[in-house]
Amino acid sequence: MGMVMKTQTAILLAGTLVLGIGTPLLEAEAATKRVHLVPHEAQYALSLARTRPGGVVGARGQMNYKLESTCSGWTMETRTTLTLSYAEGADVDTVWEFVAFEARDGSNYSFFIRNTHNGAVDDVLEGGATLTGSPATGTARFKRPSIDPVPLPAGTLFPNAHTLAILEAARKGQHFVSRTLFDGGSKEGPTLVTAVIGRPMAAPPRAAGQDPLLRTPSWRMAIAFFPPEVDGAAPEDNAIPTYEVDVRYHDNGIAQDMVQDFGSFSLASKLTGLHRLPEPDC
């Protein structure tokens, strides 16, 4: 994923991930390899994991995710359908669509996001962003809605670059990462994202029917998304995250066993389908 972000990757578990010390051999082996995001399609079944009294009493849906790789970058597509049932009132049907392109060198990014509720379009976000320099700074420009350019502070990363940064840190045996992410999901600007990384999990033994893409090293991570800067206050000053994700991330970029926590309820995402896509011939 690149699916671990507010718009693309997202439904989450609140709480703290308990860290282990890590297996030195696994960490040393992982650190010698470069992270490669495998092009793939994945399907996830969504269900209610936790709720507070008087609110959501049921949830069902599906998330379809596709990552395609080109010589110049990646294209990403996500379509999520979700039906929420409440203690009082009618069910609410939501469809969330996300399409984006990210340059491999991290220099530019374009996005289209559409949310519908009960068949009516609720929100559309469309635009692009550029980054230059080191550490990179840049600007995001929204076509819909038409608003003033949004500055991107030094160190901002686009979605796949952010995923790569987290996985690189995991491979090096690091247990905490804090980076700024821009994915187009907020008109207010980029989001501070922190990741608490657990000890490495060895690739499971070969089993009948298991997809080879899941026979790779992985880590459990607790990822928190904080609101953008508001009225001059830095994101980290807003102590309560917008939402959190507990996810098992494989070293090829495939997300598994996700729980997304929105505060009043949590959604579990179970991987039900996985298909590898072709690599570009560059």
Q: What are 256-270's pLDDT values in tens digits?
A: 889 999 888 999 999
Residue 13 has pLDDT above 80, yes or no: no
Residue 231 has pLDDT above 70, yes or no: no
Task: Count the Cβ atoms, other than its own, within 10 Å of residue 16.
Answer: 9
User: Per the domain annotation, does 109 fall within a domain?
Assistant: yes
Instruction: Give the residue numbers spanning the domain of 57.
Output: 24-271
Number of domains present in the structure of the chain: 1
- Tokens read off for 138: 């840049």
User: Per the domain annotation, does 276 fall within a domain?
Assistant: no
Q: Are 11 and 190 in contact (CB under 8 A)?
A: no
CA 174 to each of CA 31, 49, 84, 167, 170: distance values in angstroms, whole numbers, following the listed order? 10, 29, 37, 10, 5
Residue 236 pLDDT class (50, 70, 90 cuts): low
Q: Which residues pair with 67 in a beta bridge?
A: 40, 76
Q: What percent of the chain has pLDDT over 90?
A: 68
**pLDDT tens digits, one per residue of 132-170:** 998 889 999 999 999 999 999 999 999 999 999 999 999
User: Per the domain annotation, does 181 fall within a domain?
Assistant: yes
Q: Which residues pair with 102 in a beta bridge?
A: 74, 109
- Tokens read off for 117: 């509720």
User: Per the domain annotation, does 212 fall within a domain?
Assistant: yes
User: Per the domain annotation, does 15 fall within a domain?
Assistant: no
Q: Are 25 and 252 in contact (CB under 8 A)?
A: no
Would you state the pLDDT for residue 261?
93
Q: What percent of the chain has pLDDT over 70?
A: 83
User: Per the domain annotation, does 1 fall within a domain?
Assistant: no
User: Per the domain annotation, does 6 fall within a domain?
Assistant: no
How big is the CA angle at 42 (ends 70 and 207), to the nearest 5 degrees? 110
**pLDDT tens digits, one per residue of 180-229:** 999 999 888 899 999 999 999 987 776 556 788 998 999 999 999 987 76
Helix or strand or coil: residue 81? strand
Residue 242 pLDDT class (50, 70, 90 cuts): confident
Q: What phi-psi label fits residue 168: left (phi over 0), alpha (psi between -120 and 50 degrees) or beta?
A: alpha
Would you state the pLDDT for residue 157?
96
Would you state the pLDDT for residue 257?
86
E-strand stretches of the chain = 40-51, 56-69, 73-86, 92-103, 108-117, 120-132, 137-144, 150-152, 156-157, 176-181, 191-201, 218-226, 243-250, 255-261, 265-276
Average per-residue pLDDT in the chain?
Answer: 85
- How far is the C-alpha of 243 from the C-alpha of 263, rounded, in Å? 7
Residue whose token pair is 């840190």 = 169
User: Per the domain annotation, does 11 fall within a domain?
Assistant: no
Q: Give the DSSP per-residue string, 220-279.
A: EEEEEEEPPPBTTB-GGGS-S-SEEEEEEEETTS-EEEEEEE-SSEEEEEEEEEEEE-PP
Q: Which amino acid is at 34?
A: R
How big is the CA angle at 246 (ends 95 and 79), to the nearest 5 degrees? 20
Tell me 173's DSSP state: T
Residue whose token pair is 């298909």 = 275
